[in-house]
């Protein structure tokens, strides 16, 4: 790659807006835009990329990378659209027959996704002892009984992240039986050891493979339409990037990319590694914690479309505070209703009749799009003034909840509604408002590293060996996701004691990240 091809495009698709930015080799934003998100998602992506390319003119030939964060996978699950039919194989009988696969799934989602399931002999105890021999004949009989009425196969074995051999053997068996191109998804690649949540995430991942393929093809189409000689990447849940091939294999890992991009972008734009980040949109404010330049991850199972999963997601706390949040004049209440994307025609500031928090900020002196409020009644003025006090109290409570009692952490404000956040909050340190904070999510996509994660269970006395094994696996996954093998390194090691074991045991989770292998001579991001 030539030295001149040093520009990156970052795109982030939100529920209301699709943001796009162009960064040069020094990490400076040289073009940015907000475009309306379209129902098919791709229209907004096309509009955003077209706009920023027009802004940089002849320098478009210098674009070498396009990074995308999208809610397309989440939308597919929530709306029950374009999901594949999945055959589910659980390895763990007779120990794991109490709860069948897809327990707790909404009936309509289960009916749309599940082609059939079976629980067969296999799996491991916590110490690696096999629960039962692998039932190879049972697997083949199950697949044949479905008579081809499935698009993909999800395989989930008890403690397979620590003892992967059986799942790998099943994958080989399925490909030998159905052909090399069979779509087989293993739970060991998705998340930690919790069986039901990991199984749920694995089935969702298999169900999303068609969606991921369509989005990938659409992104490549836009890049080709624009005549860009650029490598494309997807953002994933933990604030790192993955190659398009990796995204097609693990689409479920893109679900939390929006909040992760905002936090990463806030870290980059503010040059801060430890902080609280608040991303203020039209309907909600999403708060997260920045630790060593990356989003702090949640330790609790996450629910997506009514399904409990355990894949890694940013620890995000959302409050009903946004630019379009409705203020009720008669009661003085604030939210939860919002005019959302209709703010430009329904808010008082834009000639509408609905008082919103944007109107309250304008009344308090904030400059909002150069507009002025119409003449207001005393009741409306009092309600808007009181709304700001209510909003501030809610923000202070949210920040305190995430900061775990630390009052010195800076608060980085990003998002289009950032003007709502006051310059002083009792529960936070200095309030930072970086330039281009309104498109921080797209910046986060553009500057992210490629990453990978791996888990390993071991006796406490063997923890060092477990850390080494998990580190090697995480680095290998980061390289597979697109990281430069010469620069990838371990950035996080988490150790969690395991209860109810015969001997003291620990679960090790390792995260690795590194600059993209395709960056060539381009300087790596600051974080």
**Does 476 share its domain with 386?**
no
**The three-state (H, E, C) secondary structure of 185-212, written as one string:** EEHHHCCCCCHHHHHHHHHHHHHCHHHH
Q: Report whether 509 contacts 458 (CB < 8 A).
A: no
Does any domain span residue 145?
yes
Is residue 433 in some structural domain? no
DSSP summary character for residue 37: P
Bridge partners for 492 per DSSP: 511
404 belongs to a structural domain? yes
Which of 159, 182, 207 is the C-terminal boundary of a domain?
207
pTM of the model: 0.75
In a shared domain, residues 89 and 189 = yes
140 domain residue, yes or no: yes
Judgement on whether residues 387 and 491 belong to the same structural domain of the protein: no
The predicted pLDDT at position 340 comes to 74
DSSP for 200-263 reads: HHHHHHHHTHHHHHHHHHHHHHHHHHTT---EEEEE-TTS-EEEHHHHHH-GGGGTTHHHHHHH
Residue 18: inside a domain, yes or no?
no
Q: Which domain holds residue 199?
A: 84-207
Instruction: Report the DSSP beta bridge partners of residue 432.
Output: 412
pLDDT of residue 3: 47
The H or E element spanning position 44 is: helix 42-56
Q: Indicate the number of domains in the chain.
A: 3
Whether residue 28 lies inside any domain: the answer is no
**Is there a single domain that holds both residue 90 and residue 190?**
yes
- Cα distances (Å, whole numbers) of residue 77 to 21, 81, 226, 458: 28, 7, 30, 35
- At 255 the pLDDT is 80
- Beta-bridge mates of residue 413: 278
Q: Quote the crossing angle between the two packed helices 209-225 and 72-79, to the nearest 10°.
A: 140
Say which residues have a Cβ less than 8 Å from residue 83's Cβ, sequence separation at least 6.
76, 77, 109, 112, 113, 207, 208, 210, 211
Whether residue 198 sits in one domain with residue 142: yes
Going residue by residue through the chain, which has 527 residues, state the pLDDT in tens, using 9 for 90 and above. 444 678 999 998 876 678 999 999 888 999 999 887 777 777 888 999 999 999 999 999 999 889 998 777 777 787 788 899 999 999 998 888 888 888 889 999 999 999 999 999 999 987 788 999 999 999 999 999 999 899 999 999 998 888 889 999 999 999 999 999 999 999 988 866 678 888 998 999 999 988 888 888 888 889 999 999 888 888 887 777 888 888 888 888 888 777 788 888 999 999 998 999 999 887 788 899 998 887 887 777 677 778 887 666 778 888 888 888 999 999 888 988 888 778 888 999 989 999 999 999 999 888 776 678 889 999 999 999 999 999 999 999 999 988 887 888 999 999 888 889 998 888 888 999 999 998 998 998 888 788 888 888 788 888 899 999 999 999 998 898 788 899 899 988 888 887 667 778 888 888 898 887 754 433 333 33
Distances (CA, A) of 207 to 202, 259, 466: 9, 23, 32
Query: Cβ–Cβ contacts within 10 Å for residue 475, how many?
Result: 21
- SS3 at position 168: helix
Q: What are phi and psi of 274, to 5 degrees?
A: -130, 115
b/e per residue, 418-451, with b = 16+ CB within 10 A? bbbbeeebebbbebbebebbbbbbbbbbbbbbbb
Between CA 207 and CA 402 the distance in angstroms is 33
Residues 143, 88, single domain; the answer is yes
Query: What stretch of H or E contains 389?
Result: helix 378-403
Whose CA is closest to 449, among 478, 414, 413, 418? 478
492 & 378 share domain: no
Give the alpha-carbon dihedral of 249, 311, 274, 468, to 10 degrees.
-80
Whether 396 and 461 map to the same domain: the answer is no
Answer whether residue 366 is part of any domain.
Answer: yes
Token pair of 340 as six digits: 């959302």
Is there a single domain that holds both residue 132 and residue 189?
yes
364 and 471 assigned to the same domain: no
Residue 14, pLDDT score: 73
The predicted structure's pLDDT at residue 196: 87
Instruction: Count Cβ atoms below 10 Å from residue 28 Cβ, excluding itself.
Output: 10
Residue 527 domain-assigned (yes or no): no
Say yes or no: 88 and 192 in one domain.
Answer: yes
Please list, residue by residue across 252-279, b when 16 or more beta carbons sit within 10 angstroms of its beta carbon and e when fewer do: bbbbbbbbbbbbbbbbbbbebeebbbbb
Sequence length of the chain is 527
Residue 169's domain is classified under what CATH number?
Answer: 3.40.50
The residue from 152, 181, 207 where one domain ends is 207
8 Å CB contact between 41 and 211 = no
Q: Which of 173, 207, 241 is the last residue before a domain boundary?
A: 207
């Amino acid at each position: 790659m030539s030295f001149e091809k040093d520009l990156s495009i970052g795109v982030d698709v939100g529920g209301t807006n699709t943001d796009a930015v162009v960064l040069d080799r020094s990490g400076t934003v040289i073009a940015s835009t907000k475009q309306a998100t379209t129902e098919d998602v791709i229209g907004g992506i096309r509009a955003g990329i077209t706009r920023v390319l027009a802004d940089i003119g002849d320098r478009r030939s210098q674009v070498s990378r396009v990074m995308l964060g999208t809610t397309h996978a989440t939308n597919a699950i929530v709306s029950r659209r374009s999901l594949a039919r999945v055959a589910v194989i659980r390895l763990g009988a007779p120990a794991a027959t109490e709860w069948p696969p897809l327990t707790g799934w909404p009936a309509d989602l289960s009916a749309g996704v599940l082609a059939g399931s079976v629980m067969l002999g296999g799996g491991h105890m916590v110490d690696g002892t096999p629960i039962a021999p692998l039932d190879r004949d049972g697997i083949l009989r199950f697949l044949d009984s479905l008579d081809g009425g499935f698009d993909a196969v999800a395989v989930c074995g008890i403690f397979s992240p620590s003892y992967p051999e059986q799942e790998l053997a099943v994958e080989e068996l399925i490909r030998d039986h159905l052909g090399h191109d069979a779509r087989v998804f293993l739970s060991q690649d998705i998340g930690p050891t919790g069986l039901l949540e990991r199984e749920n995430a694995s089935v969702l991942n298999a169900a999303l493979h068609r969606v991921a393929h369509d989005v990938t093809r659409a992104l490549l189409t836009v890049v080709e339409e624009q005549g860009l000689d650029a490598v494309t990447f997807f953002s994933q849940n933990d604030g790192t990037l993955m190659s398009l091939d990796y995204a097609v294999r693990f689409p479920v890992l893109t679900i939390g990319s929006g909040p992760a991009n905002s936090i990463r972008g806030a870290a980059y734009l503010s040059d801060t590694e430890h902080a609280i980040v608040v991303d203020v949109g039209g309907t909600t404010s999403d708060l997260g914690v920045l630790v060593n330049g990356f989003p702090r991850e949640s330790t609790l199972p996450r629910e997506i479309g009514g399904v409990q999963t355990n894949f890694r997601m940013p620890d995000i706390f959302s409050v009903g505070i946004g630019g379009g949040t409705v203020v009720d004049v008669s009661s003085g209440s604030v939210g939860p209703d919002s005019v959302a994307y209709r703010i430009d025609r329904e808010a008082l500031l834009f000639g509408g009749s609905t008082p919103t928090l944007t109107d309250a900020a304008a009344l308090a002196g904030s400059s909002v799009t150069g507009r002025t409020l119409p003449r207001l009644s005393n009741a409306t003025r009092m309600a808007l003034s009181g709304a700001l006090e209510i909003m501030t109290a809610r923000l202070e409570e949210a920040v305190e909840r995430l900061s775990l009692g630390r009052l010195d952490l800076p608060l980085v404000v990003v998002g289009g509604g950032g003007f709502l956040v006051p310059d002083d909050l009792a529960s936070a340190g200095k309030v930072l408002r970086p330039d281009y904070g309104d498109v921080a999510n797209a910046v986060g996509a553009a500057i992210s590293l490629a990453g990978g994660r791996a888990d390993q269970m071991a006796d406490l006395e063997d923890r060092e060996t477990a850390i080494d094994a998990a580190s090697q696996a995480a680095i290998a996954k980061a390289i597979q996701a697109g990281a430069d093998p010469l620069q990838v390194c371990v950035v996080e090691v988490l150790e969690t004691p395991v209860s109810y074991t015969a001997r003291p045991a620990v679960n090790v989770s390792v995260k690795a990240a590194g600059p993209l292998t395709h960056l060539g001579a381009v300087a790596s991001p600051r974080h």
